[in-house]
Amino acid sequence: MIVMKFGGTSVESAVAIERVAGIVKARAERHPIVVVSAMGKTTNKLLAIANAAIAGRREEYIRQIHDLRDFHSREARQVVPLAERADLDRTLDEHFQELTELVKGIAVIGELTPRSIDAISSYGERLSSYIVALAFNHFGLPAVHLDARKVIVTDKRHTHAGPLFAETYRRLEATVPPLAAEKVVVMGGFIGSTEEGVTSTLGRGGSDFTASIVGAGVNAEEIQIWTDVDGMLTADPTILPGGHRVKTISFAEAAELAYFGAKVLHPATVIPAVERNIPVMILNSRRPDVPGTRIVGAAVPCKNAVKSIACKRKITLVNINSSRMFMAHGFLRRIFEVFDRYETSVDMIATSEVSVSLTIDNTEHLTRICEELGEFSEVSTEPEQAIVCLVGENIRYTPGVASKVFHALESVNIRMISQGASLLNLSVVVAEKDLRIAVEALHSAFFAELDPEVFE
Predicted pLDDT of residue 258:
78
20-29, 344-353, 431-440: least confidently modelled range:
344-353
pTM: 0.85
pLDDT given for residue 444 in this prediction: 94
pLDDT score for 420: 66
Tell me, yes or no, whether 284 lies in a domain.
no
State the average pLDDT over residues 242-252. Answer: 91
Residue 255 pLDDT > 90: no
Strands 2-6, 308-321: pairing kind: unpaired
In sequence order, what are the beta bridge partners of 425?
A: 391
Residue 267 falls within a domain, yes or no? no
* Per-residue model confidence as pLDDT tens digits over 319-344: 998 876 554 567 888 899 999 999 99
- Report residue 455's pLDDT band, with 50, 70 and 90 as the boundaries: very high
SS3 content of the chain, % helix, strand, coil (to 5): 45, 20, 35
Residues facing residue 206 across a β-bridge: none
Q: What is the pLDDT of residue 324?
A: 62
pLDDT at 251: 87
Task: Flag whether 90 is in a domain.
Answer: yes
For residue 196, the tally of other CB atoms under 10 A from its CB is 6
Which stretch of 2-11, 328-337, 394-403 has the lowest confidence by average pLDDT? 328-337
Residues 13, 154, single domain; the answer is: yes
Domain CATH for 414: 3.30.2130.10
Count structural domains, the chain. Answer: 2
CA distance 389 to 311: 6
39-72 pLDDT per residue, tens: 989 999 999 999 999 999 999 999 999 999 999 9
Q: Which domain holds residue 158?
A: 2-228
Return left, alpha or beta for 68; rule: phi > 0 is left, psi -120 to 50 is alpha, else beta: alpha
Which CATH number does the domain housing residue 153 bear? 3.40.1160.10
Q: In the chain, what percentage of residues exceed pLDDT 70?
A: 96
Strand partners, 222: 2
Taking 70 as the threshold, does the pLDDT of residue 421 lie above it? no
DSSP state of 262: -
Side-chain half-sphere CA neighbours of 191 within 13 A? 29
